Amino acid sequence: MTLAPNMHSKPLAWWKKATAYQIYPRSFYDTNQDGIGDINGIIAKLDYLADLGIDLIWICPFYASPNDDNGYDISDYQAIHPDFGTLEDVDELISAAHKRGIRIIMDLVINHTSDEHPWFIESRDNKNSPKRDWYIWRDGCEPTAEKPTCDPNNWESIFHGSAWEYDKKTAQYYLHLFSKKQPDLNWENPEVKQALFKMIYWWLERGIDGFRVDAISHIQKQPGLPSLPNPKGEKYVSSFDYHMNVAGIEKHLHELKEQAFDPFNIVTVGEANGVTADNALLWVAEATEHDQGGVFNMIFQFEHMKLWSEEQSNVPLDLVEFKRILSRWQDALEGKGWNALYLENHDQARSIDTFADPTSRYASATALASCYFLMKGTPFIYQGQEIGMVNHQFTSLDEFNDVSARNLIQKLSQQGQSDADILALLNQVSRDHSRLPMQWNAQDFAGFSEVQPWFSVNQQYADINVEQQQKDPNSILSFYKQLIALRKSNVSLVVGRYQLLLPNDPNIYAYQRVAQDMTWTIITNLSPQESIVDIDRMQLGELMLDNQNINNEHVRSDFIATQIAPPYAAYIFARKH
Ligand code: GLC
Ligand code: CA
């Protein structure tokens, strides 16, 4: 067997073996009874995470922020929002995690700041401010009743409405790809980069283990900021083509890597909307003797997810397409880079509702888990996914918290859509579904807090919670634990090459992980129909784990004899060579 010289000769990086867990701190666990999750709440649950088998935690922003986008609008990178605690609490969290062998990565939000950040306040003050050019200011004219839009161009914000905000004080507009309280930093200005790199150093010297790098594919804008073609004559035009993974971004990314990341031995995961399997290597190739490689250790790609989607998602999953996308990523990075594997995060509705069937919750959750978790890459679990948390049923439009949902409601109402239609849409796609409090037990407020939490609690918490699932060997939580343990104790599940089986089967996602001494076969039925699995049974070997529970009792699977997979069945086989 020939080994790719760039990878297998090196010892396996710790983060390749790791299982990662994402925390949305506002909704994880409240220890001081103000209804808001806090840093001490993360510390309090470290034993839970260690017991689950987690090695790496990514925590969403807990910096000072006016909370327009729940912390993704930062007003001081080096201060902690008092809702969450203090810097000392963060130091304590880092050391308490490290004691348990768990590493911590933080969210690095450097495409934009809050409009309340001192840099922006200074920038906004006057046209000759030394920080004027730290943000993106352009001329336009003052909006009036006759001429309501005279923005510098026709770009639509990712959070709906114009991407420009008029600022009376200096009679210019500033660019904000996200909310108007998130002005974009100007990455063409070297001072901006130096200020950001200095801040990154400060955090790394505090002992954190790396970063998830927010919205980083948006830092380069189309030079000249031209308007988009507008054949439909829309007010604003979806502008991703002119600010997402735009040519020229590489130079900024390499500076970030060389000047801020390389001096430290850390792990980095870029959020890379718009990066496709074809250009992935620019982002995540491992360095070789001849090539400096990419920028991040891994990226979150979005090709298999609908990010910022406004479309009704009640069309069933196109499994053949889903397999094609994920397999392209697996193949493109084989021996050259590393995947970050995920189905959920704080920007997505819950995966059971999006990809499977919430009426068969156990089977759906465990089949989805088996399917994505054992692909080649580092698996990420989003808080609550490990207990099969599902979407909330919102009953009125004022219940939504997310700034992007609120802007969408305004936009669709103006376009004449009924409240009922907008509610139905958001009940499927809203980011708020994943931001409800974590469900720890069946007590009031799901054991998240003793007081009314900052946000609604999912109606189903009495049936879906950690405490109950810890007691039950056939729970979703127990299944996740087994999956994590299986991957931890079998390096072949970390290094084995991915090979898709049955590419055109519309119901079955089956693949192998082929290593030197072992071949794993993972078979999942991701459909509500019973399906025959057309795989040579001699290839399978021993059944290591399956999700065949009936009335909460594990039943012996007769899959090998029948090769019939019930709806949302999952089987994991291993064969020694
Ligand atoms: C990223 C974050 C999202 C945030 C946005 C703006 O996509 O994941 O939650 O709203 O960036 O910072
Ligand atoms: Ca609190």
pLDDT in tens, 294-307: 999 999 999 998 75
For residue range 458-515, what is the model confidence (pLDDT) as tens digits? 999 999 999 999 999 999 999 999 999 999 999 999 999 999 999 999 999 999 999 9
Q: What is the pTM of this model?
A: 0.96
347: CA distance to ligand 1 center in Å? 7
Alpha carbon nearest to ligand 1 atom 3, residue: 347
Closest-lying ligand to the alpha carbon of 382?
Answer: 1
4: CA distance to ligand 1 center in Å? 36
Q: What CA–CA distance (Å, rounded) separates 468 from 465?
A: 6
Closest-lying ligand to the alpha carbon of 159?
Answer: 1
Which domains does the chain show, CATH number per domain? 18-113+191-220+242-479 (3.20.20.80), 497-576 (2.60.40.1180)
Alpha carbon nearest to ligand 1 atom 9, residue: 347
Active site residue 444: no
Q: What CA–CA distance (Å, rounded) separates 41 from 39?
A: 5
- From 252, 250, 240, 243, select the one nearest 225 (Cα to Cα): 243
Q: What CA–CA distance (Å, rounded) separates 526 from 567?
A: 7
Residue 142's pLDDT is 82
Question: Best of 74, 178, 219, 403 to mutate for ligand 1, by most ligand atoms within 8 A of CB?
Answer: 178
Q: Is the Cβ atom of 386 under 6 angstroms away from ligand 1?
A: no
Q: Is the Cβ atom of 109 under 6 angstroms away from ligand 1?
A: yes
Which atom of ligand 1 sits closest to the CA of residue 69? Answer: 10
Residue 365 CA, distance from chain mean position: 18
Q: Which two tokens stand for residue 167?
A: 């600022």
Higher pLDDT, 313 or 214: 214
Q: What CA–CA distance (Å, rounded) separates 422 from 419?
A: 5
Q: Is the dihedral angle over the CA atoms 401, 403, 408, 414 positive or is it negative?
A: positive
Average the pLDDT over each of 141-145, 442-446, 454-458 and give the range with the smallest value: 141-145
Higher pLDDT, 312 or 508: 508
Higher pLDDT, 53 or 316: 53
Residue 3's pLDDT is 45
Q: Which two tokens stand for residue 331?
A: 């193949």
**How many CA atoms are closer than 13 Å to the CA of 55, on its beta-carbon side?**
14
69: CA distance to ligand 1 center in Å? 8
Place of tokens 């993974």: 245
Alpha carbon nearest to ligand 1 atom 4, residue: 72
Q: Is the Cβ atom of 72 under 6 angstroms away from ligand 1?
A: yes
Q: Is the Cβ atom of 178 under 6 angstroms away from ligand 1?
A: yes
Which residues 6+ apart lie within 8 Å of 286 measured at CB?
6, 7, 293, 294, 336, 337, 338
- pLDDT band, residue 314 (cuts 50/70/90): low
Q: Reading across the β-sheet that carries 164-167, which strands appear in turn?
A: 137-138, 172-175, 164-167
Closest-lying ligand to the alpha carbon of 27?
Answer: 2
DSSP state of 499: E
Active site residue 214: yes
Catalytic annotation, pick one of 55, 271, 344, 353 = 271
Q: Cα-flanking dihedrals φ and ψ of residue 299, to 5°?
A: -135, 155
Question: Best of 24, 72, 344 to mutate for ligand 1, by most ligand atoms within 8 A of CB?
Answer: 72
Q: What CA–CA distance (Å, rounded) separates 130 from 528?
A: 61
- pLDDT band, residue 309 (cuts 50/70/90): low
**Cβ–Cβ contacts within 10 Å for residue 129, how many?**
16
Alpha carbon nearest to ligand 1 atom 12, residue: 72
DSSP state of 260: I
- Residues 34/37/42/45 CA torsion (nearest 10 deg): 80
Residue 307's pLDDT is 58
- Exposure b/e, 241-277, CB count within 10 A at least 16 = b: ebbbbbeebeebbbbbbebbbeeeebbbbbbbbbbeb
